[in-house]
Each structure stands twice: as structure tokens, then as C-alpha cells.
Structure 1
Amino acid sequence: MTVRQILEEAKRLEPVERAELLEQLFATFETADPTVDAAWASEVEERLTAYRAGEIEAVPFDEVLDRVNKGKKR
């Protein structure tokens, strides 16, 4: 399976499932600073809690990807 195929499948997931997937993917990277891992875990939990409480809305992945790609072109 290619990265593009995986991405297309991931885009079909619910926002919460995509967040969980990201968290698990990030966990596969080795980091030199456990403080960074703890900070990211805290951020993910806060965002997930806010999403579930209706305090924030999900942004479609295509929109996020467009924003990232526009930033690369600068």
C-alpha cells in the first residue's frame, strides 16, 4: 500500500479517529526529549476534549493539507 493510498483511506475516518491515528503515528518516532512527548499528549487530549464538548470544530483534512502546501510554496 502506498502513502497516497493510506492517506485516501485515512481521510475517510471520522475526525476523532484521524486524531487517534496521528497520535499513534507520532508515537512511532523516537524523540530525545520525553517532555516534548508529554506536551504533545497533553495538547492532543485538550483538543479532543474540546472537540467532544463542541467547543471546537474539526477542519476537513483537505483544507489542512491545502494550508500546509501553501506554506511550503512561500
Structure 2
Amino acid sequence: MNTKQLIEEAVSLPLEERAIVVDSLLRSLNQPESEIDKQWANEAKRRLSELRSGHIEAIPGNDVFSKVWDRFEK
């Protein structure tokens, strides 16, 4: 199977399976660094825990982006 055939075959897959193929290919290009990945996973878990406990309050994404755009427009 050549590259063109492989791409045609991949494009014909259902959406979820294409996403898995893309994710696998991207991961093969950019190998994760295990220690950094562990630190980010721990940070994500900590932030989720704070959010669920009510210790912090989520800010809607639209509000955040509005503030960013306001800063850059000045």
C-alpha cells in the first residue's frame, strides 16, 4: 500500500477512528516527556479538584477572551 492509498483508506474511516489515527500519528511525531506529562497531569487533577470542591470558580471562556482582546486593542 502506498501513501496515497493509505490516506484514502484513513479518510474513509468513521470520524472517531480517524481521530484515533490522527492522535497516534501526532504522538509519534512529538514523543511526550514522561516527567513533564506527570507534572501536567497532577496540575490538571489539582485544578479539577479545586473546581469541584468550590474552592475556585470557573470563568466562562468568552469572558476570558473578551478581556484578552480588550487588552490588545488598546
Q: Give the TM-score category using the shorter length.
A: 0.3 to 0.5
Scaled by the length of structure 1, the TM-score of the pair is 0.46
